[in-house]
Each structure stands twice: as C-alpha cells, then as structure tokens.
Structure 1
Amino acid sequence: MTATDIPTPVTLDRREGPYGEVVLRERGDDFEIIANGCFLMDTSDGRSERLLIDAALGALPDGRPDPAVLIGGLGVGFSLVRAAAGPRWGRIAVVEREQAIVDWHLEGPLARISGAALADPRTEILRTDLVTYLHTTTERYDALCLDIDNGPDWTVTEDNGTLYSPSGLAACRERLTPGGVLAVWSAQPSEAFEEALRNAGFHAVRTEEVAVARGVPDVVHLALRAN
C-alpha cells in the first residue's frame, strides 16, 4: 500500500476531559483513539490486546475457579471482548477514566465491537482513574491486565508514570490474590521494567512478544505475586 492508498482519517468525536483531549477517528474500516495528540490504538489488529488476556489466564494456577480479572483501559474493546469470550473468567471489571471512551462503546460506533461483551453479566465498567483505584480499593483480583499507555516508558499523561513506580507496582501486588498475575501491555520491550517488577517482589517475570509489520514488537510483561 502506498501513501496515496491510505484512507484519510475522519474525526467522529472530539472531547475535552479532566485528563486532556480524546478523539475518535475513522480511517477506512478501522477506528482510532487519539489522546492529547498521541496515537493510542486502533482496530486494525488486536492480537496483542488479546494476548494480554490469554497470557494472564494461561499464567494462573490450574484449577482456580472463576478467576476475577481487572482490565485497566477499555480502549477499542479488544481485551474486554477476549475476556468475555472465555467461559473460565468470573468477574470482569474494566477501569476506564475517560467518559468519552465509555460513551463510544455504550452508544457510539465502538458498540459494534464490544456490545455483546458489555452486556455479559460478568462485566462491570468502573468509571475511575486506574492509578487512583489501585491505591484506594480493597478489592482483590486474580489477574490485572493493564493497557492504559503505550508502555512503561511512554505514558499518555505524566501521572500515569506512577503506575510503573515502586509504589504503583506495590499497589498492583496488593490488589492481587496470592499467586495472581500482573500483565502489562507495551509497545516495546523494557528490560528496566522487568527489573522493576522483580524489585517490587514479583516472580516468574517474563515477556511475550507479538511481531508487528514494522519496528519493534508489541509485548506483554507478565509477573506473578508470590503465594
């Protein structure tokens, strides 16, 4: 495909919220989400978002009944859809701080992707900031599947950086049940983040990759809380 073959994006909605501007665009058959001028994700692939869920489930101890998963970031809905498609998951909670993104799924163009998953009785949308929620809730989950940035080294807003700090990783660990898994999506591998996970008391730290057409692979960082 040449540059002239790439469809011109059409802005469907633009909102100013407490964390800045979020934009939903349509480019040909795909949708794109832009936050503060930074490309977040689109609907052209979704393999790595699905891997986020599959890898977390695969890392859980065998035989754990109805595990509860917290998905950080609704995005274009691929992670939620993958979780809802799996009969093994129990509670599926999704934290999303941008009201616009929730609206695009509930009553906008993205409903065609996530409508059935949102209607699943296991699904709950928590309209709050993920970092704040992790530090304030007493809920525990068997898996945390987090995808709110382009990775630990490329955050959407400055405040998100605390999620990958020692205090943020400690909060993640406290929100997990014994043996629970933390899965973090990133647009590139990060050896420094792997080391930060180990320093935060996680074990079995590893990274799974998804090859992309150009550049470094998307990855999912995985780590387990000790029993």
Structure 2
Amino acid sequence: MTPLELLDTADLPGGGTLRLMTRHGDYMILLGRNELMSSRLSGSEEALARLACEKIRGRPRPRMLIGGLGMGFTLRQALADLPKDAAVTVAELVPKVVEWAKGPLAHLAGASLADRRVTVEVGDVQSPIARGPGQWDAILLDVDNGPDGLTIPSNDRLYGKEGLRAAYDALAVGGVLAIWSAGADKAFTERLRRARFVVEEVPVRATGGRKGAHHMIWVAVKR
C-alpha cells in the first residue's frame, strides 16, 4: 500500500498536533491515530448543514454560526441551501485549518471562503455564541469527534450544561442547534432536553450514500 504523505502539521491549543495527510488524491486530517476527517467522507458534514437549513427555511436574512471549518463541506452545503441575504460566520480555532482550506484543500471548499455572505473568525466558537441573546438562527457545531472533547478537552464546555444554556440563549426563538458526532450518545441527548431543546437524533451515512458507517446529527430546536 502506498504510504500516506505528510503535507503539514498544526499545533492545537493545550497540546496535540493535527496532521494533514494525502494519498492517491484523498486528504485526511489526523490527531494521533484518529482520523478526524477525510475528503472521502463528506456526507455527514453536508447533512449537518442541510438539516439545520431545513429548520430555518423561509426566515428573512438568516444568521448562521458554524463552529469548525474542517475541510469546508458543511460551509459549502450551507451556502448552497441558504438564501442570498444570509450571513454565515465560521469560527475556527486552529489558524492552520483556515490556511489549508485556502491552500491544499481549496478544491474541496470551492469558493466558499470568498462568498460575500461568509465571515471567518479564527478563535473559539464560544466567543460568538456569547455575544448576546437571540443573535443566531442556527448554530452548527463540528469542533470535535462528538460531545466528549477528544480533540481539545476544553470543548467539553460547549457540550456541558453551561455550554448548552449559552447556545440556547444565543438562538432566536425557533432557532436550531445542530451538532455532529461520530456516534450516538444517549446521555447527551438527555442533556439537550434538560436544556429545554426539542431534540431529534438523526443517524446519517458518513459517505452520504447507502453504505458505510453511521454518524449522528442532533437537531435541537429552541422552544
């Protein structure tokens, strides 16, 4: 088998290193032995955007916050589904991930980062969440492998009681919090419900097709 080629690395706040790898035209971002994302598996990241956009369809000038740029699949899909008067803010904690999206991964994100509706902020997604009540129609979180802080332990704050309360307050009435995870987590579902969200658990194929592993999307609507 052809070995993986290392293209670049990125240090994570608090320790750890992301590695951008390629083989046979495919791209992967790894943390240790964990494959966090792959250009072959865009289906669930696209589903994250589609499911959120369905919940806010018809709203004038919708405001969306995406936590985690990744390879740009969620942003690209959101822009395809949102109207021309939408505003999308992408919060990405790791500067190198933004550089990769403009460089070796630019063909995956397309022209998304140049879209006039998009603002990219390098920093913690908790900052735009905390800016004030009712400011977002949709908040999409794909900052880790799920609600367990695998990549950065401080991500646990996003998925804990205080983090969910902050997201609830930051959403407009009827707004949606959509969260990507590599797998199901019943305890997290209950935590969302206790935070007063109306919750759907939506299993989706990682590939976007009929085969392959399932990922989980939580679609949580503010009452």
The normalised TM-score by structure 2 is: 0.89
| CA distance in 1: counterparts of 2:146 and 2:12, whole angstroms | 22
Q: Say which of 205, 213, 217 aligns to 1:220.
A: 217
Q: 2:202 aligns to what? A: 208
Q: 2:112 aligns to what? A: 117
Unaligned runs of 5+ in 2: none
Residue 58 of structure 1 deviates from its aligned partner by 1.1
| CA distance in 2: counterparts of 1:214 and 1:58, whole angstroms | 24
Residue 162 of structure 1 deviates from its aligned partner by 1.1
Following TM superposition, the consecutive aligned residue runs of length 4 or more in structure 1 with deviations greater than 4 angstroms are: 212-215
- The answer to whether the 8 A contact 1:69-1:91 is kept is yes
1:99-147, Cα deviation, whole Å (9 max, x unpaired): 11011112x1011222411111001101111234423x22711001110
Residue 214 of structure 1 deviates from its aligned partner by 5.3
CA RMSD of aligned residues (A): 1.8
| CA distance in 1: counterparts of 2:13 and 2:105, whole angstroms | 22
- Cα gap change, 1:218/1:17 in structure 2, threshold over 3 Å: closer, same or farther? closer
Q: What number of residue pairs does the alignment pair up? A: 216
Q: Say which of 46, 51, 54 aligns to 2:47.
A: 51
Residue 19 of structure 1 deviates from its aligned partner by 3.8
- The answer to whether the 8 A contact 1:84-1:117 is kept is yes
Residue 218 of structure 1 deviates from its aligned partner by 0.4
| CA distance in 2: counterparts of 1:147 and 1:86, whole angstroms | 18
Q: Say which of 85, 92, 99 aligns to 1:103.
A: 99
The answer to which structure, 1 or 2, has the higher relative contact order (CA under 8 A, 6+ apart) is: 2
Q: Which residues of 2 match residues 26-37 of structure 1 at below 5 A?
A: 26-35=22-31
Q: Say which of 165, 170, 178 aligns to 1:175.
A: 170
Percentage of pairs with the same residue: 36
The normalised TM-score by structure 1 is: 0.88
| CA distance in 1: counterparts of 2:129 and 2:59, whole angstroms | 23
Unaligned runs of 5+ in 1: none
